[in-house]
Amino acid sequence: MAGSWLLGPDTGGQGERPTAVLVAVHDDGAADSSPGSQTSLTELRRLAATDGLTVADEVVQRRPNPDPATYVGSGKVDELAALAESAHADLVIADRELTPGQVRNLEERVGVRVIDRTALILDIFAEHARTSEGRVQVELAQRATRLRRNASELARRRERTRTRRARNQVPRCRSPATPTPANRRCSTGRPAPTPRSMTCCSPPWTRPSVGSAPAI
């Protein structure tokens, strides 16, 4: 029977086999054994059966690459949610490794727990580990998988944040296309920037009063 790490402590009833729905993305130009192919889905069904799960159905979308936010497209997500509800599924299993963001978005849209092939395999090892050393090794592998995915997701978020900041940054000096009179100075008293060097202080520009000395 699938473990609580996979399903959660309150999933499924006493003596009942949890139900799962498979979801996959397949590129028609990829190899026959690639994720989403019939060979790969058959293997995933066998892995689910080994972990004590009953596979109710599957959703496959043909596209070159998975959706970065929800793994499959929005229409397929709606189809997956309806199928999971009608089958009273306990979880959805993706035939490819998912990012934490994809897992979170799918769970919000579908309404059940979402895992991937790697999590399923680790749960099988956890259920069949008999020695204390084996259980510790599996738990370490599970924690390492979570840590690696969270670190990858954090790096992607930081990169998106840097990109947004760079895109929204407003230039602090005037455009080289608009010449600045030579007798104008910055509010600090330094000379206004020339078209070749626009790294002066920030606006506003001020014209020094007659007879006043520049600030030092």
What average pLDDT does the segment 26-49 reach?
89
133 pLDDT higher than 80: no
Smallest CA-to-CA distance from 21 within 120, 88, 101 is with 88
Q: By the 8 A CB rule, do 144 and 91 touch?
A: no
Q: Which amino acid is at 131?
A: T
Q: By the 8 A CB rule, do 180 and 206 touch?
A: no
56 pLDDT higher than 90: yes
Q: What are phi and psi of 170, to 5 degrees?
A: -95, 130
What average pLDDT does the segment 20-43 reach?
89
Structure tokens at 32: 């026959």
The top-scoring range by mean pLDDT among 95-109, 183-197, 198-212 is 95-109
Query: What does pLDDT average to over the chain?
Result: 75
Structure tokens at 35: 């994720």
| pLDDT for the residue numbered 151 | 63
Query: Which residues, other chains included, contact 92 with Cβ-Cβ below 8 Å and sequence gap of 6+?
Result: 20, 21, 22, 23, 80, 84, 106, 110, 112, 113, 114, 115
**Alpha-carbon span 156 to 165, nearest angstrom:** 14
